């Protein structure tokens, strides 16, 4: 693996990036204990292998994730692009206590992110969700002011619907939408992806391993709260995923490689974000770039694991109701 791989552009206005991004949330304990030294080593290995876009949020472990990234990228700022989400608020016990997309809050959030990351600007800045109490035009307008000030290079959105995207795009050009997408979560294909194409936007696709469901990860940490991992749904899904694992083995691929390769083949202009927490996981995922799938391969994978084979929504019911992208 070398940095000579093709690159992907985030929309008409965004940066060119390595074709796989590294999602850093899991490095701050979201899915169980994480080793800081291994996390930093994984970040540095990713940079050495050519990965450019690092995805984080100011609320991942209440700032811990940004501080971790700062240590890893020291002296290498010119080699990475930082994509940061903001808006979710947390209490001292770690509980989520609301969302704030007001212009004054936006400017406050970015100030602390810049300080924690130890950088002068962010490559992509985006609200993590839609604040139902603040017009998206106001939130994006505040980020546009940060762009003018040189603190932000590009504006993105996350988990919002087509109408919200169109309204936001009238305020300022948008680089991309961050949205969950995988072999078993394909809803964005219906409305969101056509809207992005219409507006000249890209997408950063998280959850391409379905939070580890497609790779057989244990139900621990945040996974304990996701419907697809527990009860009868968890048992049913494990059986369906086992068939996917068997097919991957037949092709000489790991489940993670097949999951990422499917996304790369299905949406070649978009960017999968993979939450590798260790160097071993990282190198496994990057191996997908060496094993591209043909259109026949894609069809075969979808026949082995059709999306309707998986039981349960991607988030708990209450969270699903709050997602603008699901409306």
Is the Cβ–Cβ distance between 148 and 119 less than 8 Å? no
On whether residue 275 sits in a domain, the answer given is yes
**How far is the CA of 228 from the CAs of 160, 180, 272, in angstroms?**
22, 14, 21
pLDDT in tens, 12-56: 999 999 999 999 999 998 777 889 999 999 999 999 999 999 999
What's residue 221's pLDDT? 64
**Residue 4 in this model has a pLDDT that exceeds 70:** no
**Residue 258 in this model has a pLDDT that exceeds 90:** yes
What's residue 64's pLDDT? 96
Selection from 327, 324, 317 nearest residue 134 by Cα? 324
Active site residue 60: yes
What's residue 3's pLDDT? 45
What's residue 327's pLDDT? 80
List b or e across 288-327, with b for residues whose CB sees 16 or more CB atoms inside 10 angstroms: bbebebeeebeeebeebbeeebbebbbbeeeeeeebbbee
pLDDT in tens, 159-217: 999 999 999 999 999 999 999 999 999 999 999 999 999 999 999 999 999 888 898 77
**Residue 1 in this model has a pLDDT that exceeds 50:** no
Which member of 60, 206, 226, 315 is catalytic?
A: 60
What's residue 322's pLDDT? 79
The number of angstroms, rounded, from the C-alpha of 108 to the middle of its chain's C-alpha atoms is 23
Give the tokens for residue 16: 């060119």
Which comes out higher in pLDDT, residue 237 or 157?
157
Selection from 304, 258, 317 nearest residue 284 by Cα? 258
Is the Cβ–Cβ distance between 173 and 13 less than 8 Å? yes
What's residue 31's pLDDT? 77
Average pLDDT value over all residues in the chain = 93
- What is the C-alpha separation between 316 and 47, in angstroms, rounded? 34
On whether residue 5 sits in a domain, the answer given is no
On whether residue 204 sits in a domain, the answer given is yes
Number of domains in the chain: 1
Domain containing 89 equals 14-212+267-290
**Residue 219 in this model has a pLDDT that exceeds 80:** no
What's residue 309's pLDDT? 84
Which CATH number goes with the domain that contains 185?
Answer: 3.20.20.100
On whether residue 300 sits in a domain, the answer given is no
- What is the C-alpha separation between 177 and 170, in angstroms, rounded? 15
On whether residue 242 sits in a domain, the answer given is no
On whether residue 252 sits in a domain, the answer given is no
Is the Cβ–Cβ distance between 257 and 284 less than 8 Å? yes
Share of the chain above pLDDT 70, in %: 96
On whether residue 121 sits in a domain, the answer given is yes
- Model pTM score: 0.93
pLDDT in tens, 112-164: 999 999 999 999 999 999 999 999 999 999 999 999 999 999 999 999 999 99
Selection from 15, 11, 17, 16 nearest residue 200 by Cα? 11
On whether residue 311 sits in a domain, the answer given is no
Q: Which of 92-96, 285-289, 313-317 has the highest mean pLDDT?
A: 285-289
**Residue 2 in this model has a pLDDT that exceeds 50:** no
């Amino acid at each position: 693996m070398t940095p000579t791989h093709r690159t992907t552009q985030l929309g008409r206005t965004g940066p060119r990036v390595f074709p796989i991004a590294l999602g850093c949330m899991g490095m701050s304990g979201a899915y169980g204990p994480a080793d800081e030294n291994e996390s930093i080593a994984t970040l540095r290995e990713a940079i050495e292998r050519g990965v450019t876009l690092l995805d984080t949020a100011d609320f991942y472990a209440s700032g811990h994730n940004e501080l971790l990234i700062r240590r890893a990228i020291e002296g290498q700022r010119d080699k990475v692009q930082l994509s940061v989400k903001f808006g979710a608020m947390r209490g001292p016990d770690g509980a989520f206590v609301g969302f704030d997309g007001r212009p004054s809050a936006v400017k406050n959030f970015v100030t602390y992110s810049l300080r924690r990351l130890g950088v002068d600007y962010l490559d992509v800045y985006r609200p993590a969700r839609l604040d139902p109490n603040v017009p998206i035009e106001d939130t994006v307008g505040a980020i546009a002011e940060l762009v003018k000030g040189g603190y932000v290079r590009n504006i993105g959105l996350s988990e919002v619907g087509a109408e919200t995207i169109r309204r936001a795009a009238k305020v300022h050009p948008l680089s991309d939408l961050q949205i969950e997408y995988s072999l078993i979560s394909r809803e964005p294909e219906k409305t969101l992806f056509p809207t992005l194409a219409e507006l000249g936007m890209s997408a950063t696709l998280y959850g391409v391993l379905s939070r580890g469901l497609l790779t057989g990860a244990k139900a621990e940490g945040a996974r304990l709260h996701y419907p697809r991992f527990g009860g009868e749904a968890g048992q049913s899904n494990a059986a369906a995923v086992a068939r996917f694992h068997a097919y991957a083995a037949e092709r000489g691929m790991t489940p993670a490689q097949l999951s990422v390769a499917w996304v790369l083949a299905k949406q070649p202009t978009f960017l999968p974000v993979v939450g590798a927490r260790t160097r071993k996981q990282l190198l496994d995922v990057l191996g997908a770039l060496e094993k591209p799938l043909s259109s026949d391969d894609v069809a075969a994978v979808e026949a082995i694991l059709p999306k309707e084979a998986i039981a349960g929504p991607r988030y708990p019911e209450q969270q699903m109701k709050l997602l603008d992208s699901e409306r």
